[in-house]
Amino acid sequence: MKKDVVAAAIQDAPGDAKKEVAAAAVRSLSADDQQELAERFLPSQPVTNKIWLIIVWTFGVVLVCATLALIGAVFVSILRDETDTALVQILLTVFTSVAGILAGFISGRTSAGATTK
């Protein structure tokens, strides 16, 4: 009964008051209860997996495109007998950066943010 009264009072409160009540309620919980409550608002594991797949595939596509552009820039420079070093350096920077990011994904270093208890 008290739970219903409190819920109705909070629903009728203005937006800022709701935020303050919710923040005070969360602060009053134990660390374990706070963690459990936070996990309710996180995306599910299948959603997280899909997000990571999209990210990794995107970096993979960028790596392939940067590789092809780098090869093309080198061959065009050879055929023209001119060396456009600025273009090659930019493409090489993109290539190595994306390769490093993908290597981080593979090694698992990028997913070591939160630890579970």
pLDDT of residue 54: 93
Give the model's pLDDT for residue 39: 82
What distance in Å separates the CA atoms of residue 30 and residue 34, rounded to the nearest whole number? Answer: 6
Global pTM reads: 0.57
- The pLDDT of residue 117 is 46
- pLDDT-flagged residues of the chain (< 50): 117
Cβ atoms within 10 Å of 4's Cβ, excluding its own: 8
* Distance, CA of 63 to CA of 3 (rounded, Å): 55
- Say what the pLDDT of residue 89 is: 83
H or E segment at 57? helix 45-80
Q: For the chain, which residues make up each domain, given as ranges? A: 2-41, 45-111
